Amino acid sequence: MSAVEKNSRRLSKEDILEKTAPLFASEGYDATSMRDLAKACGITPAALYHHFADKEQLYLEVLEYTFRRRIGRMGEALKGVEGFENKVRRVVEVLVDAVHDDELFLPMLRRELLVRDEKRLEYLATRVFAEPFREIMRVGRDLKPDNFKPSFLAASALALTIGHFTLEPVRRYLMPSDTPEDLRQTIIDHVTKLALEGMAKDRK
């Protein structure tokens, strides 16, 4: 038995998702072939097809695996958290940690938003973002019901946190003296304070 055949038997489906995600993140869907993906895993294309019907199925599962493990724990993270301010901070922490020092989440999200493939966007929305989105909207129940649209409130939370990391490569050149040693904590504190002060007058 060849080394490639032995490796294909050892690799689980999760192993394949882990090994192919960086290639999809760096090269994109169209520029990546099943041969490239199999090579990244150290297996044959035939072994790859044993787990996935085609490249599209593999890519969709990579998207779900990559995003859910980083942003899909919102409900679990909020369990037992009491008080509106603590809930807001926990939401921000989960969102920041999804993208902080991560080489997959932001590149893949940017690419999907630029490509605008409706099937993949719907897949991301329903299979990945729906659960954390609902959890963020639940936090907003502590606000007066007519002052914020729940879906816009959740979208703002995502935009504020993810947007900081998207713009950080530019911001640090605009204000290099403002660049903190602990970017993660600075963004958590800033976004939490901004959110709480902006919504303070709208609490029940």
Superfamily of domain 3-52: Homeodomain-like (1.10.10.60)
Is the pLDDT assigned to residue 152 strictly greater than 60?
Answer: yes
How much is the average pLDDT of 2-25?
A: 78
How much is the average pLDDT of 116-139?
A: 91
118: tokens are 């409706």
pLDDT at position 145 = 61
pLDDT at position 146 = 66
φ/ψ (deg, to 5) at 148 = -135, 135
pTM tops 0.85: no
Task: Give domain limits for the chain.
Answer: 3-52, 71-202
Which alpha helices (H) appear in the chain, and where do they start and end?
3-10, 13-27, 34-41, 45-51, 55-71, 74-78, 84-99, 105-115, 118-124, 130-139, 150-174, 183-199
pLDDT at position 1 = 45
DSSP string of 3-18, one letter each residue: HHHHHHHH--HHHHHH
